[in-house]
Structure 1
Amino acid sequence: MTVDYTLSTIGKQYTAAHRIYVDAEKKIVNMIVEIPRWSNAKFEIATGEKYNPIKQDVKKGKVRFVRNCFPYKGYIWNYGALPQTWEDPTVITPDTNARGDNDPIDVCEIGEEIAYRGQIKQVKILGVMALLDEGETDWKLIAIDIKDPMSEKLNDIEDVEKYFPELIKATHHWFKIYKIPDGKPANKFAFNGECKNKSYAEAVVEETHEAWKRLITGIIPFKADTHDICVSNVTIENSPYNTVKESHKQNKTEKLLNKYKRRVLIEEKDDKWYYVKAHL
């Protein structure tokens, strides 16, 4: 994670009244896009596979697609996850009274761009909802791409309500109903479905990042238990699961990946949302 900040000054330089204020409120994190907005295919980071690739979820032997629940078309934001976070299933969150769901923390990115699968977006955190998925805490961050034209105006959850009217309400409704067409009950939430503010959300991110550090360095209860997560990596030097030293030869998978590497070209389309306030 990186930190974006600004400096504000008052008073004449080199006088007793001179002050420099550091504003580090604009915290920036990297998001991995799993599902572009308006699409239905349920892709996710495969935490149980080596190096955690993105793959389509499979249920009962079939790849999974989320249903269109009127008036929504697929996912209503760019949906993805924060790397280097982990919702620890051994820890009960006091505010939700539920354990973590054993996944990276989820992100709903609300900017106007239609992302592509595997894209890395730098986003600004604005708030968070707590979905209770089958009795587990499943955090849903609300964030916006820092390059989005609206990014400067959005600094906390009340700004989303102001500039993107009804989006938070629609987000709650979407998560509540999206599994119903598949015969499951409506989802439940902590905090009566309220979206907590930026400060709360950043505390959740920090907590899940610390949990990830315990996992990747082996500092967790029952050290051999990685909770079905493949923790093999090539970048974390102090991790006992770092595989760089194992071999300097490319395996078949790596050779295949290099063979099919390609540049991603995105056509420019007018797929952005238009937020209209009706005057009754």
Structure 2
Amino acid sequence: MSNLLELKVTIEIPKGSNIKYEYDRKTGQISVDRILYGSEVYPHNYGFIKEALDWDGDELDCLVVANQAFQPGVIVPVRILGMMGMVDSGETDNKLIGVIACDKRFENIRSLKDLGAHSLKEIKGFFETYKLLQNKKVVVKGFKELDSAIHEYKNCVSLMNQYGSLPKDEFIAKMKKMYPEKYME
């Protein structure tokens, strides 16, 4: 596989925000979904890849490491480093992780290891705790390198091409029958 993947990511949530925005594929709009229940804020910009449908029925998520906080709706070039495996309320909800590709400060960051152990612990810790006060269960399954992220991206592009026109609840019901291992209730 290639050792480089650069994607266009639409920002949903700026780093440092406690506002959970949600993209609606049907309307093409980003709206406020909720305010996080606790004192947590997103440690990095959080967005999605429009052409890729994840197992939770939403576009594939991507955490974008940058020095700046980008506004919702902005499209940024991102060099993908790897991914974090995650299960949210019984549904596979993996996150690609990358860095802003148009900032020279990040040109030498080419893998998750280059982010450093503390940064990865911070990301893991955020996702393990941000829904605690909602009494929702999130399980972080660990980090995987670029080849796994490329595989996930390609699978999710295929899902979007085949099932992107289905309503979210129909997509999830169909996927639960076809791929029960992706849904752990």
Residues in 2 aligned to 1:137 and 1:185: alpha-carbon distance in whole angstroms: 14
Aligned match of 2:6? 28
What SS does the corresponding residue of 1:155 show, helix, strand or coil? coil
Deviation for aligned residue 1:24: 5.4
Aligned match of 1:199? 147
**Which of these residues, 91, 94, 101, is aligned with residue 146 of structure 1?**
101
One-letter amino acid of the structure 2 residue matched with residue 110 of structure 1: V
**Which of these residues, 171, 174, 191, is aligned with residue 126 of structure 2?**
174
2:61 is aligned with 1:85:
no
Higher RCO (C-alpha under 8 Å, 6+ residues apart): 2
Deviation for aligned residue 1:201: 0.6
Deviation for aligned residue 1:68: 4.3
Contact 1:177 1:186 in 2 (8 A): no
Q: What is the correspondence of 1:55-204 to structure 2 with a 5 Å cutoff?
A: 55-57=31-33, 64-69=34-39, 72=40, 74-87=41-54, 100-161=55-116, 165-182=117-134, 184-189=135-140, 193-204=141-152
Contact 1:128 1:139 in 2 (8 A): yes
One-letter amino acid of the structure 1 residue matched with residue 142 of structure 2: E
Deviation for aligned residue 1:148: 2.2
Share of identical aligned residues, percent?
24
Unmatched runs of 5 consecutive residues or more in structure 2: 170-185
- Rg bigger for which structure? 1
Aligned match of 1:267? none
Task: Give CA deviations for 1:230-255 in whole Å, capped at 9, x if unaligned.
Answer: xxxxxxxxxxxxxxxxxxxxxxxxxx
- Tell me the C-alpha RMSD between the 2 structures: 2.0
What SS does the corresponding residue of 1:170 show, helix, strand or coil? helix
**Which of these residues, 148, 160, 164, is aligned with residue 212 of structure 1?**
160
Contact 2:89 2:136 in 1 (8 A): no
Residues in 2 aligned to 1:146 and 1:67: alpha-carbon distance in whole angstroms: 32
> TM-score, structure 2 length as denominator?
0.84
Contact 2:88 2:137 in 1 (8 A): no
Contact 2:48 2:61 in 1 (8 A): yes
> TM-score, structure 1 length as denominator?
0.56
Deviation for aligned residue 1:185: 4.7
Which structure dedicates a bigger proportion of its chain to strand? 2
Aligned residues: 169
Change (3 A) 1:101 1:228: closer
One-letter amino acid of the structure 1 residue matched with residue 43 of structure 2: I
